[in-house]
Structure formats: structure tokens, C-alpha cells
Structure 1
Amino acid sequence: MTTFSNAPLLVTGASGNFGRLAVEELLARGAKHVVAGTRDPSKLADLAARGVEIRRLDFDDAATLATAFAGIERALIVSTDGIGKRVAQQTAAIAAAKTAGVKHVVYTSAPAARPDADAGLGAEHFWTEVALANSGLGFTILRNHMYAENNLMDGPGAAASGQLFGLVGDRGTSYVARIDAARTAAGALLTAEGNTVEDVTGPAPVGNSERAALFAEVSGKSVTLVALAPADLKAGMVASGLPEGFAEALVAFQRDAVTGHHGVVTSVVEKYSGRKPQAFADFIRTQAAAFGN
């Protein structure tokens, strides 16, 4: 397998949770010229002290895109948090990469990315994938499945209330720990060639009933699964204080779990990271403190 450890490698969003982990993995695997892009370079002073080149990179500022991609051979574009404007931000980054002469781009996408009206946030990823495929650049699209960490958003609340709400007919989600996905992205940046679209998953799909049982185990409290129709689940989320758009996006994820899109299992984590992905149950058991235990 070819390694590009001597090439100039850029990671965008390097001060975020995912980007930071990817940079750390590149360093651990011997990358010689790592460039960390961030809107706020002051946040990465410690990486600069370790030899990482820090460049200001703001997806909404074309001038910073041009300078950030200059001289870069391979780039990891970590999907931005700009929901609603991601397509414009990320296509601008792809255009800047092409102009700068970047040879290969790794992009963190989402499972079952498609332009359908019911795809939630998936449409933004889909159109970014299209822009990348049409760019003429080499690309590796990593469709990261739901992060295991997202369970810390609803799990503790479910344990406290004794109820976990989900859709009728859930067929499971192959949750992947963020560290596994970040190591995978770093590995792809170091080794991937050609043009591929690959799903990044945990080792097995986990249904809502299994989640409820695990939340009960780590909290020491009874947690019952309450299965709802999509409209009722969304209404409950909005009533609890979630913005309507965010609630719809979360319901869209669960609809895809019902149709089976999130139950895919691959060996991509091991392929690029050299490690087997952490099992969901093992991850949850390490988070007992979040559940009050």
C-alpha cells in the first residue's frame, strides 16, 4: 500500500473534535508535513509547538481558502457545522483545492447521502459529493455513520425519565466511535488512491431496544422503549425545546434506520486505521459517568 506520509497534508476544521483527532492520528502514524486549518489559529498553539503548520481557514472567506490549500498535495475536508450553507462552503473549498493543485481529497460525508426531500441533512452531503466527483480531483468519500457519542445527547435523559423514544420498525444503526472515524479519515488521507465512496461503520447495527437496555445497565435505572410514528416523534422533540429543523433532521436519521440505511456494516475502519472499531456496548459502558453512575 502506498503511503503519502511525506506529502503536505491538510486537515480542515482542525480545532474541532473530529479534525483534532485526525491530526493527532497523522502525527502518530509518522506524517512529516501536517497542515492544520482552522478559523482560529490561536486554538492550535500546542500543535504548532509540535511541528504542525497552522493556517487560517474559514470556509466563508475565499481568500483564506486559497492560502490554506496552497502547496497541499492531499486534503481532508471535514464537513462543516454550517447547516444550511454547507454546500456553498464545501464546494468553495473543493474549487480552491483544485485551483491550488491538490491531487486527492478525503471528505467526511453521511450514510445514504441523497437529494431526496426526506433525507434530512443528507442532501447537503450528496451535493458536496457531486461537486467532488465532478471536480476532476482524486477523492475518497467516507460516509461516516452515526457517531456513538450522539447517544450522550438523549441517553442520559432517557435514563432519567425512564423512557427512550424511537420510531416503529427500527432496524438498527451501526454506531461508530468518533475516534475510530477520525483514525479512518487520517488513514485514508495517508493511503487512499483512486475514486471511492465508502461507509465508515461500527461492528454491528444496534436497535433502539438494545440502546434502552444498555442505558438501563449503565444508569442502574429502568428504561422502556416507546415506539412512535415519525410525526409524533418530531412533535415530542419540538415540545421538549428542539428547533423544528433540527428535530426533522433527527427524525430523518431514524427514518433511515427503519429503512435499513444505517444498518450497513463494513470493514472500512480496520482497512484505513488498522484497528477494529469499538463495539457500541463497550463505548456506552465507558460513559457511565454521563448517566450518573
Structure 2
Amino acid sequence: MTKFANSTLLVTGASGQLGRIAVEELLARGATKVIAGTRDPSRLADFAARGVEVRKLDFNDAATFESGFAGVERVLIISTSEIGRRIAQQTAAVAAAKAAGVRHIVYTSAPAARPDADAGLGPEHFWTESAIFASGLDFTILRNHMYAENTLMDAAPTIASGQLYGLVGDRGTSYVTRADTARTAAGALLSAQGQTIEDVTGPAPVTNVERAALLSELSGKPVAVVPLPPADLEAGMVSAGLPDAFAKVLVAFQRDAVAGYHGVVTDVVERYSGRKPETLADMFNANRAAILS
């Protein structure tokens, strides 16, 4: 559905990977008043040439908020990449959106968003969601599950070592591609109404054992799962060169997979994008050359 195709629609972070796909999807689905917000408008000259209004909108610069949100009816707030600063950035953006008269906020959140100190990125999303709820505006919270592309970071090393490290008791993760989440977000911007929270998932939960089997099938080499307790997994990540803070985030994600939070499966991707979500196996096959190079 494209009920709001003629409304003024803003995508923040439009020069990022997810933002670009979302803008492309809005245009493909007939949106007539698309605004692309970015801290560096020069990066979106291609969109400007196609009739998209490009505005400077920097979540670290409140002076850009008034003009950035002016006249906007519905906004897609894509969670920023600055871990540790996102609560301040995003709650300020929500307040600015309300002040500008925005009617509906679509926000890219994460599953099981909660304020617990050991919940990884959960608190940043929880407090942003809380600000949206308190705004009194209509909203669609899209709790994007783990991006399938994140598994590409360790795919080649895992195949080379023949070992995939993970927490004991993994119950599966419903990996979803970034493109599927972007198209879902565009669909929500075009059609969602009221106040809803939606889990955005892939078609099925994939355990570490199943992921290892996919990599083995792709490469023709054996890959075994090595289950570890959280402290050992985190220590291994740090010794492999990951920053300690990032290792803690990744382990928190895996703890949530053990708890079952990441095994949820919904029809949200298909409902908002009109397409069935891509499987992890298909994503691996599409990136086969890069993984095996």
C-alpha cells in the first residue's frame, strides 16, 4: 500500500547503506515528495539530480533541525552509527520532529530493546523508543533483527579455521538483510498508521550449527561449532583484534540468541515491502566470490 505516497516524507541518514535503499524504494513505489536528510548533502547529488530534495540534517548539530524537519509529515529516523552518542542524538531529533509538526515517526530499532546495562545496544534503542512514545506522535517502531550481512565479517576466517565460535545454548537468529529492512522501512513510511511495534525478521531462525553447515556447504570444507561461555567468547574476540566495547556488544547479541529473543519470525518484511525476506543461504550465495576469495 502507498496511502501516504503524496505526503512529505523524510529519510534521515539517507547517504548511508540503509538510507539509500529506503529512498530508492520510496521513489520506485511512487512517493512524490521525498526528502533525503544527510550531514553532507554533497554525497546525495545523484538523488538531487533525480528530483529528491536534499537537506542538511546533522544529529550532532541542532541548528540543522528546524530547516531539516520543516514541512515534514512523516519521517524515517534511521538509528545513527555513533554508538554511545545515540540516545542524545536521537531523542533530540524526536523532539525536533515533534516541534516541526511531524505526524508519524518510523524508527529502526532492535529486538528486545530494554534498559539493562548488559543488553548491548538495547539501552540506546530503549530510550529512543521511550522518547518517541512520550512524544504523543503516531509511530512505527521497526525492531530490525541481526543484519545478515554482519555474518560476512567472520565468514572467510571461519571457513579458513574450520571453527565457528559461539555461546553455549544458541537458539537461533532470524537474520534479515539490510535491503529487506530498508524496503520494509520505506513501506512503513508509505502506509503504516497508528502506534505499533514490529519485529523485522528473516524467514527462519538460524542456529550457529546451521550457519556452520551453510558455510561448509558453500566452501566444501568442514566447519565445526565451538560453544563457549560468554567470558571466553568475549576474550577470544578481543584477542582476535576486536575492540573490547564491540566485543561486549556482539556477546550481548549472542546472549539474547540463547535467551530466544532473536528467534522470532514475523511477516513484517513481506507485509510492508511486498517481498518475501531473503534467506541467509541466499545472502551467502550472493556473496560467494567475496567469501571465498
- What is the letter of the counterpart of residue 170 of structure 1? D
Question: Deviation at 1:2?
Answer: 6.4
Equivalent pair of 1:18/1:178 in contact (CA under 8 Å): yes
**Secondary structure at 1:164 match in 2:** strand
What's 1:180 paired with?
A: 180
Q: Any conservation in 1 of the 2:2–2:29 contact (CA below 8 Å)? A: no
Mapping for residues 126-205 of structure 1, pairs under 5 Å? 126-205=126-205
Q: Take 1:57 and 1:221, find their aligned partners in 2: how far apart are those partners?
A: 47
Task: Give the deviation of 1:183 after TM superposition.
Answer: 0.3
For the 8 Å contact 1:18–1:182, the answer to whether it is kept is yes
| Letter aligned with residue 259 of structure 1 | A
- In structure 2, the residue matched to 1:262 is 262
Q: Which residue in 1 is equivalent to 2:32?
A: 32
TM-score, reference length from structure 1: 0.98
Query: Partner of 1:58: helix, strand, or coil?
Result: coil
Report the Cα distance in structure 1 between the residues aligned to 2:175 and 2:118, rounded to whole angstroms. 21
How far apart are the structure 2 equivalents of 1:160 and 1:49? 45
**Matched-pair contact (CA < 8 Å) for 1:218–1:291:** no
Q: SS where residue 54 of structure 2 aligns?
A: strand
Question: Match for 1:212: what amino acid?
Answer: A
Tell me which residue corresponds to 1:80: 80
Q: How has the CA–CA distance of structure 1 residues 2 and 178 changed in structure 2, closer, same or farther, with 3 Å as cutoff?
A: closer
Letter in 2 for 1:282: D
The CA deviation string for residues 53-110 of structure 1, in whole angstroms up to 9 with x for no partner, is 0000100100112211000000000000110010000001001100100000000000
Give the whole-Å Cα distance in 2 for the aligned partners of 1:251 and 1:100: 39
Pairwise CA RMSD: 0.9
SS at match of 1:93: helix
Which amino acid in structure 2 is aligned with residue 77 of structure 1? Answer: I
Separation of aligned partners in 2, 1:261 and 1:136: 28
Counterpart residue number, 2:216: 216
Give 1:220 deviation, angstroms: 2.5
Given residue 269 of structure 2, which amino acid in structure 1 is its aligned partner? Answer: V
1:145-194: CA deviation from partner (whole Å, max 9, x where unpaired):
00110011111110121111000000000000111110000000000000
- 5+ long unaligned stretches in structure 1: none
* Residues in 2 aligned to 1:255 and 1:45: alpha-carbon distance in whole angstroms: 42
Q: For 1:158 and 1:2, how far apart are their aligned partners in 2?
A: 43
Is 1:52 the equivalent of 2:60? no
Matches within 5 A, 1:210-289: 210-289=210-289
CA contact (8 A) 2:2 2:187 kept: no
Question: Shift of residue 131 of structure 1?
Answer: 0.4
Query: What's the TM-score, normalizing by structure 2?
Result: 0.98
3-state SS in 1 of match to 2:71: coil
Name the count of aligned residue pairs: 293
AA at the equivalent of 2:28: A
Flag structure 2 segments of 5+ consecutive residues without an equivalent. Answer: none
CA distance in 2, matches of 1:278, 1:29: 20
User: Retained in 2: the 8 A contact 1:146–1:173?
Assistant: yes
Distance between the aligned counterparts of 2:59 and 2:276, measured in 1?
A: 33
Q: Secondary structure at the match of 1:107?
A: strand
Aligned match of 1:113? 113
CA distance in 2, matches of 1:127, 1:91: 8
